[in-house]
Structure 1
Amino acid sequence: MVNAFFLFILAGLAEIGGGYLVWLWLREARPLWYGILGGIILVLYGIIPTLQKFPNFGRTYAAYGGIFIFLAVIWGWGIDKKIPDTYDWIGVAVCMVGVSIMLWAPRH
């Protein structure tokens, strides 16, 4: 379980970080190397989830989506200085409950 969350967090940081570098390059006129580095990091993001032990691609990526939402809120707070409001945190909590159900519900 710890390994699964570690890989989800690593994938989320790669996706958000890579996307952020591309955003800075295209939207805020940063140098080309921001975009290149962002693209490389986004390729790594695509590889990291394949290291998960869960056998189902769709379920794994759906569960990762909940973790991504949590990380995106934290990123916005820490990097963009946009303080999450109550509804942001309620949304994150709902997503985390969904992730837990998807990954650890008893199945036949």
Structure 2
Amino acid sequence: MVTPFVYVGAALAEIFGCFAFWAWLRLGKSVLWVAPGMLSLALFAWLLALVDSDAAGRAYAAYGGVYIAASLGWLWAIEGMRPDRWDATGAVICLAGAAIILFGPRSG
């Protein structure tokens, strides 16, 4: 079952890629942050395409919950802001939704 690992890798790649642009535009970092950011976003897209799913939309929907939880991990680990109980509650709800989408029984 590699899907959860692919989702986590994709989330980290997407978050770093978006943060690179944030750092350039909002934090005044060098424009050189954009190049690794773009490579990271390409890695994100490639990883997400590896998810074992019969439909891209379902794979992306389930990924959303993982992305939310990983974003809060980034908030804490990289930006130094501890998520509060509402952040954590929201992430748990989103991960539960992702699990339902990903592992729920399918008809026909």
Q: Distance in 2 between matches of 1:46 and 1:26?
A: 22
Moved more, 9-18 or 37-46: 37-46
Q: Distance in 2 between matches of 1:105 and 1:40?
A: 33
> How do residues 53-92 of structure 1 correspond to structure 2 at under 5 angstroms?
53-92=52-91
Residue 39 (structure 1) shift: 1.2
CA RMSD, Structure 1 to Structure 2 (Å): 0.9
Q: Distance in 1 between matches of 2:10 and 2:69?
A: 13
- The alignment-based identity, stated in percent, is 36
Please report the TM-score for the alignment, with normalisation by the length of structure 2: 0.94
Residue 67 (structure 1) shift: 0.1
Give the unaligned 5+ runs of structure 1: none
SS in structure 2 of the partner of residue 83 of structure 1 = coil
Give the unaligned 5+ runs of structure 2: none
Q: Distance in 2 between matches of 1:81 and 1:32?
A: 23
Please report the TM-score for the alignment, with normalisation by the length of structure 1: 0.94
State the aligned residue count: 107
